[in-house]
Chain A
Amino acid sequence: EMQLVESGGGLVKPGLSLRLSCAASGFTFTDAWMRWVRQAPGRGLEWVGHIKSRSYGGTADYAAAVNGRFTISRDDSKNTVYLQMNSLETEDTAVYYCSTEITLGGVIYWGQGALVTVSS
């Protein structure tokens, strides 16, 4: 069974850092582009960034709002993708979802989400 499980959310003060993890199972993780999507309270879904599979270079791309502050990495040996969030701002308060699709245009899978609250 395909599964994505996020962890690491919590309350953090502005300017500080937090790292989210997303553990994957039930599919060939090494072949998957892994995505992070967030949803601020009462708002819609917003793409945060993604990391390509190793066969596509394993590089990451980011939304303008987080570029330079957030870093996505992956550990294929652990089937886990990470979202390192530095210099957090109150506007980063959101539920962060890990997501992927196994084939282009195919089924899209979501984790249960991790709540990040940035507040003093």
Chain B
Amino acid sequence: IQLTQSPSSLSASVGDRVTITCRASQGINNYLAWHQQKPGKAPKLLIYAGSTLQSEVPSRFSGSGSGTDFTLTINSLQPEDFATYYCQQVNSNPWTFGQGTKVEI
């Protein structure tokens, strides 16, 4: 299953609302996760099952979508949100990932 993530990068200001999209080449039953990765660090799970917020992740992060089209939204962007974001499907093997979206503050 191919995942197409857009945009590949974006520039935003503190306080902005940011939206990243992920399109799957076929339906994935909402088995989509979103990860945040900072330089030199392992990916950090933000959202799983399409819209479930992982424990201790700030509520400004949210996920939505179904079928093949999914969205990660960051409300009121904070300086610590500078990172690269990846979508990932776990509906079928092998796991596949989007190509990433770099968010620059």
Contacts and interface: CB of A to CB of B under 8 A. Distances in A.
Contacts of B93: 50, 61
12 contacts: A44-B99, A49-B94, A50-B93, A97-B42, A101-B90, A105-B31, A105-B91, A108-B35, A108-B45, A108-B88, A110-B42, A112-B42
Contact of A47 (B35, B42, B45, B97): B97
Interface residues of B, number: 24
Contact of A105 (B30, B86, B96, B99): B30
B88 A45 contact: yes
Contact of B95 (A47, A111, A113): A47
Interface string A35-51: 10100000011110110
B97 A45 contact: yes
A46 B90 contact: no
Looking at chain B's contact residues, the main secondary structure is: loop
Interface in B1-41: 29-31, 33, 35
Interface of A: 35, 37, 44-47, 49-50, 61, 63, 97, 101, 104-113
Interface string B73-105: 000000000000010101101111111100000
Nearest to A62: B94
